[in-house]
Amino acid sequence: MAKDSKDQSTTKLWLMALALGLIFAAWAYMSTDHLMATLRGEREFAVQLSGQQADQWIYQKMIESSLGNLKEVTQAARTEGARQDVPVAFRGWIQERIIVTWLWGSLIMYRLNLLLLFWFILMPFIFAIAADGFYTRAIRTFKFSSQSPIRHRMGVVVLTLATVGAVIWVILPMPLPSIIAPLMLMAIGFSTWMWASNLQKRI
C-alpha cells in the first residue's frame, strides 16, 4: 500500500515536471504573432457564442488588468534592448520573451473573464443542482436505499477532470472554442450533484 502511494506521488511529480517543461518550451519558442492571432481567434469565438457586447466587456476587463503592467513591460524591453553586454540576437530574443509574457498573460486574463461571465450566467443553475444533490442525499437517509459509491467516485473524477480541463483551457496558447467555458461549468455542477447525492449515509 505504501509502495502504491509512493508510486503515485512519483508519477504526479513527473507529470508536474513535464507540464512545467512544456510551458517553458512554449514560452521560449512562441512568437508574438502567434499570440496575437490566438487572441484574435479567441475574440471571434466569443463573439460567435456570446455576442459583440459580451466580447467588449471581457476585452475591457482584460485591458484594465493588462495596462497596469504595460509600462513595466515597455521599460523592461527598452532596458534589455539597450544592453551592450549580450549579443544582439539574444537581446532581441529577450525583448520578444518579455512581450510574449505580457501577451500570454493577457490571453489568460481574457479567458478568466470569459469564465467569470459564464459563471455569473450559470451560477443559479450550479447552485440549484448542487443544493438538489445535498437534498437528495438528505431524503435518502430516511429511506431504505443504498448510496452508490461508484457514482460518488464518478462525481469526484468528473469534477477533477473538469477542473483540470478548465485550467488547461485557460493557459493553452492556441485558439479554442469559447463553448468550453460553459461546458466546464456545467460539468462541475453535474459532478457536484452526483458527488453530493451519493454521499454515504452515517448512522
> Residue 175 sits in which domain range?
31-197
Local confidence band at 1 (pLDDT 50, 70, 90 cut-offs): very low
Residue 203 lies in a domain: no
Identify whether 137 is part of a domain: yes
For 24-82, the pLDDT digits (tens) are: 888 888 888 888 898 888 888 888 888 888 888 888 888 877 776 666 666 666 665 55
Across all residues in the chain, what is the average pLDDT?
80
User: Cα separation of 85 and 88, whole Å?
Assistant: 9
Q: How far is CA 81 from CA 16, 66, 67, 88, 90, in A?
A: 34, 22, 21, 8, 10
Residue with cell 518550451: 25
DSSP 165: H
For 146, the grid coordinates are 443504498
List, in order, residues 6 or more apart from 129 with CB less than 8 Å away. Answer: 189, 190, 192, 193
Collapsing DSSP states into helix, strand and coil, what is residue 30? coil
Report yes or no on 21 lying in a domain: no
Instruction: State the total domains in the chain.
Output: 1
Question: Does the residue 93 lie in any domain?
Answer: yes
Residue 176 located in a structural domain: yes
Residue for grid cell 512568437: 31
Q: Extract the C-alpha cell encoding 115.
A: 469564465
Residue 24 forms part of a structural domain = no
Domain annotation covers residue 10:
no
d(CA 166, CA 150): 24
Residue 170 in any domain: the answer is yes
Residue 147 phi, psi (nearest 5): -80, 150
What's the pLDDT tens digit per position in 86-117? Answer: 566 667 777 788 888 888 888 998 999 999 99
